[in-house]
Structure 1
Amino acid sequence: MTDTARFDAKIAVVTGGAAGIGLAVTARIVAEAGRVAIWDRDQSQIDAAKARFGAKILGIAVDVADWDAVEQAASRTAASFGGIDILVASAGITGPNATTWTYPVADWHRVIAVNLNGVFHCNRAVVPFMMQRKDGRIVNIASIAGKEGNPNAPAYSASKAAVIGLTKSLGKELARTGITVNCVTPAAVRTAIFEQMTQEHIDFMLSKIPMGRFGTIDEIAALICWLASEECSFTTGGVFDISGGRATY
């Protein structure tokens, strides 16, 4: 069940918004009367989203690891829609599964570039637009791996731990501005990102979840959209677990 007008007149940016969790968030915000700028690398998926949602969305092909591209996307979004109220930083990659001492250096740098630098770029780019309105919601997507550290996923685990730290830092910086900054730490959710993992790693992740199943994208999107709404007004710098019981702290 959704509140059909919860995001009325709100402008959201959803990175990675053309697939997986990002697409589910986009669909929910649009269904609840908001407009969404999808920032995604895959133009074909952006085109599919535009065909599905029409004028309610703006699709921008952007690599979040590229600061200049992110800055331009933020300016284009604000000019097209009249501002930015919400950021959901969902774009991310897993990288290969390997031990730290055999992990390919190039892959390490790419995972950090997308998962950490990309989140920083997007947070940095949207805050000035939110400060103009003295209001805003930022939701960064981290991972339970950032709290516990998954073996054979050192770059992913490190990048998501850093996103948690960034969220806490920015949340404190903006605490008196009307802008809240929180992050979500899901356990594994079966999306296309599983294609980047070995079956052994997928089985390991499932074995750690007491509920004995993976989360669904709709379950994750429901929490994200609450954090992105005006209902979430007295929480900032928070870390919200949605892990089927896996989280221990």
Structure 2
Amino acid sequence: MSYLANKIVFITGASSGIGKATALMLLEAGAKVFDFSRTHQLADELSHPNLRSFKGNVGNETDVIAGFAACVEAFGGVDVLLNNAGIGVLTTDLSSTELDTFEQMFDVNVKGVFLCNREALKIMKPQKAGHILTVISMAGQRTNPNAPVYCASKFGARGLSSGLADQAIKLGIKVTDINPGPTDSNYWGDRQVPREKFLKVEDVARVIVFVLNQPDYVLIREINFDNMKFLIP
């Protein structure tokens, strides 16, 4: 049995990577997908009656408010928010890291999650139902000397999500953290990394769909997972 049919899912960054893989799986399961992306929109390459796209930046309050309004206008509401958009930059030498680099990551990874959570809650609270998921990553639990600012932003997102979970459960709203290990996506750019040991974006998407396909009374607070090859020295 699928619990996803006709669910309205608002996804940030659904135009590529984990977001795109998840959007495609949700559409196949019968969900209605609203893609909120900063650059390329999924609807530019895929025509589907249950897909809408909106160009916006999660770190911009005006864009986020307009995006949720557009989703409500298109589909009639929001049942699920998937905070997927994220940005990561290496900061191997903190003493030479520019403030702009810090602010870019916190604008997307923390401020963006806050803004989207806030607007989703305005819709979900009257419904007394809803589900907010955030793709945080294991970087929100274990630090990395090459990316301390990125880890800090993910620790922040995890703290925000955990605190929200305690509030939201009283409202009938579920909150789940999705924490994959290193994943083979555009995040890595041209960096020389062992991609063969990483998770695939489809692996992460399947976990997200699994969580969303649970009955309303089943609450999964957090899922941590890695590619076993990455963990073996």
TM-score (norm 2): 0.91
Is 92-101 or 149-158 further displaced after alignment?
Answer: 92-101
Listed as ranges, the matches of 1:112-151 within 5 Å are 112-151=106-145
* 1:28 aligned onto 2:11: no
Q: C-alpha displacement at 1:133, in angstroms?
A: 1.7
2:91·2:149 contact (CA, 8 Å) conserved in 1?
no
Q: Specify the SS of the correspondent of 1:174.
A: helix
What one-letter code is carried by the residue in structure 1 that aligns with 2:12?
A: T
1:100·1:152 contact (CA, 8 Å) conserved in 2?
no
* 1:92 aligned onto 2:86: yes
Q: C-alpha displacement at 1:87, in angstroms?
A: 0.7
Q: C-alpha displacement at 1:134, in angstroms?
A: 1.4
Q: Specify the SS of the correspondent of 2:10.
A: strand
* 1:9 aligned onto 2:9: no
Q: Distance in 1 between matches of 2:148 and 2:212?
A: 29
Listed as ranges, the matches of 1:71-82 within 5 Å are 71-82=65-76
Q: Distance in 1 between matches of 2:156 and 2:222?
A: 12
Q: C-alpha displacement at 1:192, in angstroms?
A: 1.1
Listed as ranges, the matches of 1:1-249 within 5 Å are 5-42=2-39, 45-46=40-41, 48-195=42-189, 198-199=191-192, 202-203=193-194, 213-231=197-215, 233-235=217-219, 238-245=221-228
Structure 2 alignment gaps of length 5 or more: none
1:97·1:198 contact (CA, 8 Å) conserved in 2?
no
Q: Distance in 1 between matches of 2:72 and 2:176?
A: 22
What one-letter code is carried by the residue in structure 2 that aligns with 1:18?
A: S
Q: Specify the SS of the correspondent of 1:233.
A: coil
Q: Distance in 2 between matches of 1:151 and 1:233?
A: 40
Q: Specify the SS of the correspondent of 1:59.
A: strand
Q: C-alpha displacement at 1:232, in angstroms?
A: 6.2
What one-letter code is carried by the residue in structure 2 that aligns with 1:36?
A: V
Of all paired residues, the percent bearing the same amino acid is: 24
Q: Distance in 2 between matches of 1:53 and 1:116?
A: 32
Q: Distance in 2 between matches of 1:139 and 1:228?
A: 9
Q: Distance in 1 between matches of 2:22 and 2:87?
A: 18
What one-letter code is carried by the residue in structure 2 that aligns with 1:198?
A: R
- Which residue does 1:209 correspond to in 2? none
TM-score (norm 1): 0.86
2:7·2:32 contact (CA, 8 Å) conserved in 1?
yes
Q: Specify the SS of the correspondent of 1:180.
A: strand
Q: C-alpha displacement at 1:94, in angstroms?
A: 0.6
